[in-house]
Amino acid sequence: MSALYMVVGLIVALGVLVTFHEFGHFWVARRCGVKVLRFSVGFGTPLVRWHDRHGTEFVVAAIPLGGYVKMLDEREGDVPAELLDRAFNRKTVFQRIAIVAAGPIANFLLAILFFWVLAMLGSQQIRPIIGSVVANSPAAIAGLASGQEVVAVDGEAVDGWSGVNLQLVRRLGETGELSVSVLEQGSSVPAVHQVRISSWLKNEDNPDPIGGLGIQPWRPAVAPVIAELDEKGPAKAAGLQIGDRLVSLDGQSVTDWQDVVSRVRAMPEGKVILGVERAGQREELALTLAAKGEGKARTGYLGAGVAGGQWPAEMLREVSYGPVAAVGQALSRTWSMSLLTLDSLKKMVLGQLSVKNLSGPITIAKVAGASAQSGVGDFLHFLAYLSISLGVLNLLPIPVLDGGHLLFYMVEWVRGRPLSERVQAWGMQIGISLVVGVMLLALVNDLSRL
């Protein structure tokens, strides 16, 4: 079923985002008097096609990994004299800029729409109360402690751990001081702690910002009673069964599943002895843990899971907005995520973030499937973030992307005449090389994650 969700989720996500992006180009082109020859969603063999009264051919093609709008243009073929005024290349530089910019702008508008709907639907947030702090960690040195509730990071208010994580992500790879405001138990006045960071999580392939500070969020205790098993995992192979209760790990007693998880993750391919209680009887199972990930991200894997614990009502808060207030939230989130995307790209170029954080189609498909499977709200979140990424990436000043065309037109506007065809051709070759290189890197990262 998860594979089906992946395929359907990816097709729906790309279909919606690509269609909206290309519709932006199409709509503005029509308003500027350009004749649109074809509007295609997907590449390759057409599955469905039809024409409208303006003579535009609409196509849904077999490969749903993109799309395009083909306009009348003298650079791509002969144009009848009576249609010259409707050719793209005959339009003013400002009209061409508007047509090219319309695609990415459409993606930002779509993200705003999704965030607006989500803000009105509301969400349940877990109060960001610190469960424990690792000794000698940046958080411990700054004075953060168990029981404190995080209310702001770098001056930005947060409602839950997702907000904390988002604010911390902005500081990845940086050196300096991170401001964390917390409420002590029974206090209503926030105390501000300065957390010192240095090239923070710079080379981490899968950075964990909250854990990277040495903070463990508070969570309800979960009994280590096995509720699910990976059929190909080491736990199943060693004879662990559904309903077994873990009572010890390498001779040390365990009462909380999270303790088991943290110790297992620290021992990739380690040999362990599990103390198990089954039907009132105790026995010991010896096994060798599997390993997941590579390098510093390599962790131990048991292949077993438990049923989730119940969160106390006082640890949860509902966050929602009315139609008007939701507009502000949507605009703010879209702006923040756009800046975060740009900042992350800059840090990768400067070496402050690992390029292994780049994701390609395989990871996108996995996230699309997981978000679709978990509900409409999560899927809308995913679509909004992906739409913003598509908008930002397309605005980068790289030839072959919308941003590259905008760069050429801006230069034309300043110079009063376009760049020579030879210069533009060189730019296109460089742009294609960059885009293909990044796509291959992202694909390699995807394959390594498998």
Encode pLDDT of 76-116 as tens digits.
888 898 889 999 999 999 999 999 999 999 999 999 999 99
Residue 295 has pLDDT above 70, yes or no: no
CA angle centred on 56, ends 52 and 61, rounded to 5°: 100
Please report, rounded to a whole number, the percentage of residues in the chain having pLDDT higher than 70: 98
DSSP assignment letter at 221: -
Encode pLDDT of 66-78 as tens digits.
889 999 998 888 8
Section 165-178 average pLDDT: 92
Euclidean distance between CA atoms 269 and 272, whole angstroms:
9
Q: From the CB of residue 430, how many other CB atoms can be counted at a distance below 10 Å? A: 14
Euclidean distance between CA atoms 450 and 133, whole angstroms:
32
Domain boundaries, the chain: 2-120+378-449, 130-219, 226-309
Pick the CATH number of 226-309 from 1.20.1050.10, 3.20.20.70, 1.10.10.10, 2.30.42.10: 2.30.42.10
pLDDT for position 1: 46
As beta bridge partners, residue 124 has: 318
Encode pLDDT of 146-157 as tens digits.
999 999 999 999
Section 214-237 average pLDDT: 89
pLDDT for position 206: 77
Euclidean distance between CA atoms 382 and 125, whole angstroms:
18
Euclidean distance between CA atoms 240 and 421, whole angstroms:
68
Section 427-439 average pLDDT: 88
Encode pLDDT of 234-256 as tens digits.
989 989 899 999 999 988 888 88
Residue 449 has pLDDT above 80, yes or no: no
pLDDT band at 321 (very low <50, low <70, confident <90, very high): very high
CB–CB of 391/111 below 8 Å?
yes
Instruction: Based on the residue annotation, tell me whether 283 is a catalytic residue of this protein.
Output: no
Residue 384 has pLDDT above 50, yes or no: yes
CB–CB of 151/158 below 8 Å?
yes
Euclidean distance between CA atoms 410 and 87, whole angstroms:
20
Kind plus residue range of the DSSP H or E element containing 290? strand 290-292
End-to-end CA distance of the chain: 18
Q: Give the gyration radius of the chain's Cα atoms.
A: 26
Euclidean distance between CA atoms 449 and 58, whole angstroms:
37
pTM of the model: 0.84
pLDDT for position 330: 96
pLDDT for position 14: 84
Q: Is 245 helix (H, G, I), strand (E, B) or coil?
A: strand
Of 213-217, 290-294, 418-422, give the lowest mean pLDDT range: 290-294
Provide the token pair at 303.
């292949």
Euclidean distance between CA atoms 318 and 324, whole angstroms:
18
pLDDT band at 297 (very low <50, low <70, confident <90, very high): low
pLDDT band at 187 (very low <50, low <70, confident <90, very high): confident
Q: Is 247 helix (H, G, I), strand (E, B) or coil?
A: strand
Kind plus residue range of the DSSP H or E element containing 403? helix 402-415
Section 8-20 average pLDDT: 86
pLDDT band at 359 (very low <50, low <70, confident <90, very high): confident
Catalytic residue chosen out of the listed positions 22, 74, 231, 314: 22
- Whether 226-309 and 130-219 are alike in CATH topology: the answer is yes
Section 292-319 average pLDDT: 82
pLDDT for position 168: 92
Residue 180 has pLDDT above 90, yes or no: yes
Cα-Cα-Cα-Cα dihedral of 210, 214, 220, 224, to 10°? 110
Residue 21 has pLDDT above 60, yes or no: yes
Q: Is 36 helix (H, G, I), strand (E, B) or coil?
A: strand
Domain 130-219 is in which class? mainly beta
Of 1-5, 14-18, 162-166, 218-222, give the lowest mean pLDDT range: 1-5
Residue 137 has pLDDT above 70, yes or no: yes
Euclidean distance between CA atoms 178 and 144, whole angstroms:
12
Of 86-90, 399-403, 418-422, give the lowest mean pLDDT range: 418-422
Closest CA to 35 of 101, 104, 102, 85: 85
